[in-house]
Amino acid sequence: MVDSILFNIMLVGALGIFSQWIAWRFHLPAIVVMSIIGLLVGPVFGLIHPEEVFGGLFDPFVSIAVAIILFEGSLNLDFREIKGLGRPVGRIVTIGAFLAWLLGSLSAHYVAGLSWGVAFVIGGLFIVTGPTVILPLLRQAKLKPRPAKILKWEGIIVDPLGALLAVFAFEIIKFLKVEEATSTALLIFFLGSLFATLFGFLCGRGIGWMFEKGYVPEFLKSPVVFAVVIMCFTVADEITHETGLLAVTAMGITLANMHISSIDDMRHFKENISVLLISTIFIMLTASLSVDTLLEIFHWQILAFVLLMLFVVRPLSIWLSTIGTDLSWQEKTLVGWIAPRGIVALTVASYFASVLLDAGFEDAKILMSLTFALVFATVVVHGFSIRWTAEKLGLASEGQPGVVIVGGSTFSTALSKTLTELKIPVLVTDSSWQRLITTRKAGVPFYRGEILSEQTEYHLDLTPYEYMLAATELDSYNALVCTTFVPEIGRNNLFQLSLRNDRGDDLEELVHTIGGRVAFKEGATWESLNRKVESGYVFRKTNITQQYTFDKYLDESDEEIIMLFLKKPSGSLEFFAHDSQTRAEAGDVIVSLMPPSKEFNRIREKLEKQRNGDKNGKTKDE
């Protein structure tokens, strides 16, 4: 072990991002990978001990990181998003949270053997799911919009409520058990919570007002928000412990619903920071656990408590709280099953373990073991089962990764029909009914609306689509569309048509910095592709095999053929682009656009081979 703080910061950060990469590369739940790596480098092999190395900086760093993560999550809570879901979400975060607290506390007392006081504190804490765990799972699982929105809203809103419930339970315990405690302490707690909510709201309104009036330049907007989030959390938390999370949540929701034009830039910045912080904090927390804590997890009482929380408390609280709502039984089942606990549970449990022990509750010494057992069990079980469960219940996005084609035209319609034949989900979007006329006649899925409009986010579910092709008549608009969707789709999966320099718009220099990858080959512009389709060019699907290799396919091709994309055996797509050396392998299907004469000659050659084969067969038989 190296005691250097700088070395430990480097190692923790590197391991966190490496965990994220491993999870992405092998399609694993990121939190599961981070937890395993943290345990390996911490209690198992003893390579790092973050709590010892960072000392007094450990708890403040974790607290601020959790505040930033929670703010980033709440920044996505636009009330327009839950149109039609307000009643079930409201029930789940109120009645459902209360039932989960009550049932969890009873389980902690009667099954885990905790005293009533400690049981009610930990029961309040265990209602949290939170953005640190639920958002990465939702990105991986690709659920349908309704259950995904419910889980997201519940996780972000209940996260600070769980910490507050634990504090509230502790204040009640002190009032009932400790002689010097008075009703004044309870009053201070409630006033502190009210102040935190109001302070967060005012911080959000203040920042939004300054941005709208132009008092903050663009380059300072994200740093200003970053600094105010830390200030908002710290001030509220210093006044009343654990209310800082409530303050930053109120601030994020306020900003999200002011509909500021630059909110997306802040959201993407915070999202990038949150990924780094989630990775770092999970490694730090799991690496800080002791071997004794891990061994204590296997006690039968702790295991029984975890099973009860998984299979009874959570499902029962969701089903009871959503009686009378329009949620289907499939949605209730999925939401009732998925409730992973994460960073907030671990950090707050660590705080209460010490304060409860100081208050004379000896049974609080098992809180860290109990909490980590529930966190690790829910993260692993729910991380690996969410996609499978959603598919069985019909709540997962169906089919293979799809393609969004922006811009209605003859070429877009023909390409979308070819994608449909290959059973690849496709959606053609355009703001003009006239440009969508061929698409509508072909029966291809379409959306009439401006893809860049903020309203589109709430009317159009883009979850099933992993690729986007900007294929409109305007090169600048294609570049703008691709640039806008980089954070959601990723630059590798964003494509735009070849630029047309004949109009004097010299955009070649911008291709490397904005927009998407230039699709197909040089000269495959909007005009040329539509002209070819209208003159009779056809889309041809060619299977590459061990015998008919990609090199042989290239030898038989000429300059008139435009290779469009490959379909891999896994169902993924790989578009041909200027900046890539795409090669097909055995099992791939190449889709290309070729002249009708070429297709006719191929069909004629195939028929001649079949006739010759039949003649040879007859000769042999004779």
CA distance 219 to 236: 28
| pLDDT tens readout for residues 544-579 | 888 888 888 888 887 788 899 999 888 888 899 887
Q: In what order do the strands lie in the sheet with 426-430?
A: 446-448, 426-430, 402-406, 465-470, 494-496, 517-518
The string of DSSP codes covering 507-520 is: -GGGTTTSS-EEBS
Residue 619: is its pLDDT beyond 50? no
CA distance 252 to 387: 29
Whether the model pTM is above 0.85: no
Contacts of 290 (CB under 8 A, 6+ apart): 43
311 pLDDT tier (thresholds 50, 70, 90): very high
Considering only residues 307 and 156, tell me which one the structure prediction assigns the higher pLDDT.
307
- 85-122: b (≥16 Cβ within 10 Å) or e: beebbbbbbebbbbbbbbbbbbbbbebbbbbebbbbbb
Gap between the terminal Cα atoms of the chain? 84
312 pLDDT tier (thresholds 50, 70, 90): very high
| pLDDT tens readout for residues 74-111 | 777 777 766 667 788 889 988 998 999 999 999 999 99
The tokens describing 482, both together, are 């691709």
Instruction: Please answer whether residues 120 and 169 qualify as being in contact, where contact means their C-beta atoms are separated by less than 8 angstroms.
Output: yes
pLDDT for position 458:
58
Q: How much of the chain exceeds pLDDT 70, in percent? A: 85
What domains can be seen in the chain, in order of their start residue? Answer: 5-392 (1.20.1530.20), 402-612 (3.40.50.720)
What three-state secondary structure class fits 143? strand
The tokens describing 177, both together, are 């058990």
Instruction: Please answer whether residues 499 and 508 qualify as being in contact, where contact means their C-beta atoms are separated by less than 8 angstroms.
Output: yes
| pLDDT tens readout for residues 597-614 | 765 566 656 666 666 665
